[in-house]
Amino acid sequence: MLQVSNIRAHKEAYIKALKKRNFEGESILNQILQLDEDRRSTQTKLDETLAEANQLSKEIGLLFKTGEHQKATILKERSAQLKDASKELSDGLSEIVSNLEKLLYTIPNVPNEIVPAGTSEEDNEEIYNEGDIPVLAEGSLPHWELAKKYDIIDFELGNKVTGAGFPIYKGKGARLQRALITYFLDKAAESGYNEYQLPLMVNEASGFGTGQLPDKEGQMYHVTEDDLYLIPTAEVPLTNMFRGDMLQENDLPIACTGYTPCFRREAGSYGAHVRGLNRLHQFDKVELVRIEKPENSYAALDGMVDHIKNLLQELKLPYRILKLCGGDLGFTSALTYDFEVFSTAQDRWLEISSVSNFETFQTNRLKLRYKDRDGNKQLLHTLNGSALALPRVLAGILENYQTPEGIIIPEVLIKYTGFDRID
């Protein structure tokens, strides 16, 4: 959530920057500034009314003590008027604050100046690629056919038990999935991330804290009776662990990781681009979250990018990195890099990670601050990245490592799987 003080100080720059997202912000920013003016003037009137009421209360007490009941009675009438006025002002202030907050929740984050302009994923900027795309033998199969051939993932059985988008992993498929999770967590620990085992449901305040609500309310599974939401990513509980905290400078940086299933009610569509593991309603992911001082956050973002590069290098999967354009940037992000793995059998790139810096957008919602050495309270920066999302990594391994004799397991995973081939 943007800070009103920053909107006031940088309104024209914000209007220009938000246009990168194809978001016309001038009207709504003007409404916000007017509401803030109303809030401040109403707060001033309320403070003055309460101060007068307090002073009258003292005077009335003294008059009663000195036996001047008639004067006291006259002042009590004024005191009652002030009480009514203060209630009216307080109710009006609450309504103004509520309307102001609702408007602030509708504005996306301001893109970093290096975010390219653009309207869709077609305008994203490739900044890096690495790895040789393998040449597969004739008759090579996409992962959903390989899953059926080797009986390692059962999409039909998952559909029977739950519905489309909830596959069941079997045998060596389940063990490969578990191996990837453990490998990703071990690599995160080596890089200094503290591991957490997290709840899979969060309350509404947590959804608002990291920006999933109200922006992505329709994509989240809602347990209505308990008013809880199934998590779309471990970012939500990881970051919300620090909601409302006042950290000290020596607490920073904070680096967290966690493995969770993730749940997303994405709109249904059809075709090869969403077949098999390409798009699921439940999937596994290892997440990285960092909380940083503002001056260190972009160096930390580069470090997260390098961490994910290392994972893909060790898995020997061909990949590229995209800098997302304004039109494809997530609602809460100031800058995002997407990682994509090339699926040789599908002849296309599959997104397997997003790494983002949210700057103060989440911490302003979370009221997550720290005291610097001079005792000043400042908002922190939050960052997160998938390291990695498993379905498309698994799809990339199955497709790119297939041979006529079976699917070879990447060398770095063999100590976790206990086998070197699926056949």
250-306 confidence digits (pLDDT tens): 999 999 999 999 999 865 544 556 789 998 999 999 999 999 999 999 999 999 999
| Residue whose token pair is 């439940």 | 282
Query: Which positions make up the binding site for ATP?
Result: 264-266, 351-354
| Residue whose token pair is 């793995």 | 341
User: What pLDDT, on a 0 to 100 scale, did the predictor assign at position 31?
Assistant: 98
User: What pLDDT, on a 0 to 100 scale, did the predictor assign at position 60?
Assistant: 85
230 and 200 in contact (C-beta within 8 Å)? yes
User: How many Å apart are CA 162 and CA 237, to the nearest integer?
Assistant: 25
Angle made by CA atoms 306, 368, 251, in degrees to the nearest 5: 60
Query: Which positions make up the binding site for L-serine?
Result: 233, 264, 287, 384
E strands, 293-347, where?
319-323, 335-343
Domain spans, the chain: 4-105, 121-422
User: How many Å apart are CA 394 and CA 124, to the nearest integer?
Assistant: 24
User: What pLDDT, on a 0 to 100 scale, did the predictor assign at position 117?
Assistant: 92
Mean pLDDT score of the chain: 94
Helix locations, 255-296, DSSP H? none
Distances from the Cα of 294 to the Cαs of 291, 300, 303, 312, 422, in angstroms?
A: 9, 10, 15, 28, 47
How large is the average pLDDT for residues 5-13?
Answer: 97
User: How many Å apart are CA 41 and CA 89, to the nearest integer?
Assistant: 10
Which pair of tokens denotes residue 103? 């408007």
User: What pLDDT, on a 0 to 100 scale, did the predictor assign at position 319?
Assistant: 97
CATH number for the segment(s) 4-105: 1.10.287.40
Query: Which positions make up the binding site?
Result: 233, 264-266, 287, 351-354, 384
Question: pLDDT digits over 74-91, tens only?
Answer: 888 888 899 999 999 999
State whether CATH 3.30.930.10 applies to domain 121-422.
yes
User: What pLDDT, on a 0 to 100 scale, did the predictor assign at position 66?
Assistant: 86
187 and 311 in contact (C-beta within 8 Å)? yes
Which pair of tokens denotes residue 413? 């995973």
Question: pLDDT digits over 202-257, tens only?
Answer: 999 999 999 999 988 889 999 999 999 999 999 999 999 999 999 999 999 999 99
